Amino acid sequence: VSSAFDFAGNLFPLSSTTGTGGYAPIGAPTSAARPGGGLGGGSLEKHKTLTYLNGLSLIVGLIIGSGIFSSPSQVSSKVGSAGAALVVWVVAGILAWTGAASYAELGGAIPLNGGSQVYLAKTFGELAGFLFTWVAVLVLKPGSAAIVSIIMGEYFVRAIIGAEAETINPWVNKSVALVGLAVVTFFNCISTRLGTRVNDLLMILKFVALLGVTVTGIVVAITGYTFKGEKDVAWKAHDWFSDTSFDLSNWAVALYGGLWAFDGWDNTNYVVGEFRNPSRDLPRVIHTAMPLVILSYVLANVAYFLVLPIDVINGSNTVAVAFGSKVFGPIGALVLALVVSASCFGALNSTTFTAGRLVYVAGKEGYVPAVFGRIGVGNEDRGLSTQRTQSWFSKKLRGCLGDDDMGLFYTPIYALILNMAITAGYCIVGEFSTLVTFYGVAGYTFYFVTVLGLIILRVKEPHLERPYKTWITTPIIFCCVSLFLLSRAVFAQPLQTLAVVAFVIAGIPVYFWRIRGRDQVRKREGDGGARPWWRFWK
Ligand code: ARG
């Protein structure tokens, strides 16, 4: 029986002095003796801080963002009818769940930070892992964060200047998006706990909001009156399945819309190494989060359809605001606009947290310049804060920021800043719909290959210890459906697909360049590449 830690040692023999390199939890000593002393060598356990509940709020907080409040039109306008739209939402949810369950198996068998990167490296070799990181660091993480922050900006501006305002200068939205991005990055730089607490709080808000939408929708449908006192019978006006489209391409595009709302289910896998008990908690997190999210999305959609006529839904990018305004009037629209922007803010916060870890792992492995694999502000990892003199005030401040022993700014700051910079770039130049499709095609390519890897690994290494095993049908279903989606994209958006392929291929020379540099440094220094900060390109 082999374990993941042998694997990390075998795969990266030169980094054996660094334990599992960047895949270990943040803050774990990179060599037995850290300059600050304190922790003693090798006590990885102490750095594993994430619990079941943290994992749950991380993944739910990331999944519920913009999509459920703004994609419904993309789904229903493509498939034509309310009933078919609900079917798409269920299918998208189940697909995401099968993907997440497959990732849970991989995460349990290989409990390291880095997500797909480590799984691909294990199954197909380090190049495959690198190519994932290449695309994830440059496109997937910042691209999706840019989309979420643009939508956050749009809703926030709507809430301020009037929800039903027709045209808003996009630069106003974008400025708000950039400010939000900076705030979230700053939170995540201060302390890991602060980021996690913000998540916990916003997760509750999101569930309350979705539950609120559902309940009001049902009340309106039963009484036949909106809260403004208007008579309303929208749900009687639909014929739930007439006008359903039978064009497969339409269904594929609708599915992409639904999948965007469910996306982010792989994100706990980026931080598996930071769980106290990953093999128990990761599957538990996924099997609570996914059904909860699916249920609340389907119910919210039912509520939209109960209250709004289908052509209103089809024609609106801001369904939630239309819903609020129909049921409660302008105040309702305003409240919902605020809720949606808060929800996006939460998703942005979670995605920033995991993106920081992803870039950090890449930095530790030499895929990106080493500076991005550093923790804290200084040149070397700092000693522990408990060893510094602490005034009463600083203790209180730390307590309130949720910082126990690691010290403030004991986070992958450089990684977070890199992620912010790229995201900001996408925000400024990007346009929503191109970003979404490019994101979908690139993202599902890697999900597909990773889950295929799970099947291959079952055959290649039947004895690998797998604390959690899904039914083999789970990855098979996931692979079949995502292959269908990808093949549709090839026909529907050949140019974008080509762009994705070209981008992945462009990563190959970069891989050989980075790896050569890294291995030279490691050979020379024999310590995993400690070097002065000014030689950051090494
Ligand atoms: N599902 C989220 C939403 O509805 C988007 C998640 C973006 N994905 C990611 N990996 N950050 O807004």
| Nearest-angstrom CA–CA distance, 145 and 168 | 21
275 DSSP assignment: B
Q: Tell which atom from ligand 1 comes closest to the C-alpha of 148.
A: 12
Q: Tell which atom from ligand 1 comes closest to the C-alpha of 145.
A: 11
- Stretch among 19-33, 373-387, 403-417 having the lowest mean pLDDT: 19-33
Residue 393 banded pLDDT, cuts 50, 70, 90? low
Yes or no: say if 349 and 184 are a contact pair by the CB < 8 Å rule.
yes
117 CA → ligand 1 middle, Å: 19
Yes or no: say if 360 and 413 are a contact pair by the CB < 8 Å rule.
no
Of the residues 147, 263, 426, which should be mutated to test ligand 1's pocket, given the most ligand atoms within 8 Å of the CB? Answer: 263
143 CA → ligand 1 middle, Å: 10
When mean pLDDT is compared over 45-54, 362-371, 388-397, the highest value belongs to 362-371
Average pLDDT over residues 372-378: 70
256 CA → ligand 1 middle, Å: 12
Q: How far is CA 50 from CA 123, 133, 209, 370, 498, in A?
A: 27, 23, 26, 26, 39
| Nearest-angstrom CA–CA distance, 45 and 315 | 52
Q: Which amino acid residue places its CA nearest to atom 10 of ligand 1?
A: 264
Side chain identity, residue 324: G
pLDDT given for residue 229 in this prediction? 66
pLDDT per residue as tens digits for the range 115-142 = 888 888 888 888 888 899 989 999 889 9
Q: Tell which atom from ligand 1 comes closest to the C-alpha of 71.
A: 4
Side chain identity, residue 433: S
65 token code pair: 């963002």
Of the residues 58, 62, 95, 188, which should be mutated to test ligand 1's pocket, given the most ligand atoms within 8 Å of the CB? Answer: 62
- Stretch among 107-111, 237-241, 356-360, 428-432 having the lowest mean pLDDT: 237-241
pLDDT per residue as tens digits for the range 417-476 = 999 999 999 888 877 666 776 787 888 889 999 999 888 888 888 788 788 888 888 889
pLDDT per residue as tens digits for the range 155-189 = 888 888 775 666 677 788 889 999 999 999 988 88
**Residue percentage of the chain with pLDDT more than 70:** 76
124 token code pair: 């197909």
455 CA → ligand 1 middle, Å: 26
pLDDT given for residue 88 in this prediction? 93
260 CA → ligand 1 middle, Å: 6
Residue 24 banded pLDDT, cuts 50, 70, 90? low
Q: Tell which atom from ligand 1 comes closest to the C-alpha of 355.
A: 11
Return all residues near 235 (Cβ < 8 A) that are at least 6 apart: 221, 305, 306, 307
pLDDT given for residue 396 in this prediction? 61
Strand partners, 231: 225
226 token code pair: 């909106």
Per DSSP, the three-state class of 231 is strand
Task: Identify the CA nearest to 158 among candidates 144, 137, 172, 146.
Answer: 172
Q: Which amino acid residue places its CA nearest to atom 9 of ligand 1?
A: 264
Task: Identify the CA nearest to 40 among candidates 340, 310, 383, 368.
Answer: 383
pLDDT given for residue 33 in this prediction? 30
Q: How far is CA 435 from CA 82, 83, 354, 430, in A?
A: 27, 28, 20, 7
> At residue 383, does pLDDT exceed 50?
no
Helix, strand, coil distribution of the chain in percent, nearest 5? 75, 0, 25
**pLDDT: which is higher, 11 or 157:** 157
pLDDT given for residue 384 in this prediction? 36
Q: Tell which atom from ligand 1 comes closest to the C-alpha of 351.
A: 11
Q: How far is CA 26 from CA 94, 142, 289, 374, 442, in A?
A: 32, 21, 24, 10, 28
436 CA → ligand 1 middle, Å: 10
Task: Identify the CA nearest to 450 among candidates 164, 140, 118.
Answer: 118
526 CA → ligand 1 middle, Å: 40
**pLDDT: which is higher, 403 or 199:** 199
CA dihedral sign, ordered 108, 111, 114, 118 = negative
Element (H, E) at 313: helix 310-314
Yes or no: say if 25 and 252 are a contact pair by the CB < 8 Å rule.
no
pLDDT given for residue 11 in this prediction? 36
| Nearest-angstrom CA–CA distance, 444 and 459 | 23
435 CA → ligand 1 middle, Å: 12
> At residue 406, does pLDDT exceed 60?
no
248 CA → ligand 1 middle, Å: 25
CA 57 to chain CA centroid, nearest Å: 12
State the helix-helix crossing angle for 330-364 and 52-63, rounded to 10 degrees. 120
| Torsion angle, alpha carbons of 519, 524, 528, 531, to 10 | -110
ipTM of the complex: 0.96
Q: How far is CA 265 from CA 97, 285, 311, 402, 534, in A?
A: 8, 10, 31, 26, 37
Residue 298 banded pLDDT, cuts 50, 70, 90? very high
- Stretch among 233-242, 266-275, 301-310 having the lowest mean pLDDT: 233-242
Q: How far is CA 411 from CA 176, 390, 403, in A?
A: 25, 20, 11
Q: To 5 degrees, how large is the angle CA 370–CA 127–CA 450?
A: 110
| Nearest-angstrom CA–CA distance, 11 and 367 | 15
pLDDT per residue as tens digits for the range 317-349 = 788 888 888 888 888 888 888 988 999 999 999
Q: Tell which atom from ligand 1 comes closest to the C-alpha of 66.
A: 12
Yes or no: say if 216 and 288 are a contact pair by the CB < 8 Å rule.
no
Q: How far is CA 517 from CA 62, 250, 366, 437, 495, in A?
A: 35, 47, 8, 35, 34
350 CA → ligand 1 middle, Å: 10
| Nearest-angstrom CA–CA distance, 382 and 410 | 8
Q: How far is CA 394 from CA 39, 186, 207, 382, in A?
A: 21, 19, 35, 17
Contact residues of ligand 1, CB 6 A cut-off: 62-63, 65-67, 144, 148, 260-261, 263-264, 267, 347, 351
| Nearest-angstrom CA–CA distance, 269 and 369 | 23
- Stretch among 7-11, 69-73, 219-223 having the lowest mean pLDDT: 7-11
pLDDT given for residue 63 in this prediction? 93
312 CA → ligand 1 middle, Å: 25
**pLDDT: which is higher, 232 or 157:** 157
> At residue 283, does pLDDT exceed 70?
yes
Q: Which amino acid residue places its CA nearest to atom 3 of ligand 1?
A: 65
Q: Give the global pTM.
A: 0.82
298 CA → ligand 1 middle, Å: 17
Average pLDDT over residues 289-300: 93
pLDDT given for residue 391 in this prediction? 57
| Nearest-angstrom CA–CA distance, 351 and 439 | 14
Per DSSP, the three-state class of 236 is helix
Yes or no: say if 63 and 264 are a contact pair by the CB < 8 Å rule.
yes
> At residue 297, does pLDDT exceed 60?
yes
pLDDT per residue as tens digits for the range 74-97 = 888 888 888 889 999 999 999 999
Of the residues 58, 70, 103, 148, which should be mutated to test ligand 1's pocket, given the most ligand atoms within 8 Å of the CB? Answer: 148
pLDDT given for residue 126 in this prediction? 84
137 DSSP assignment: I
Yes or no: say if 349 and 152 are a contact pair by the CB < 8 Å rule.
no
Query: Mean pLDDT of all residues in the chain?
Result: 78
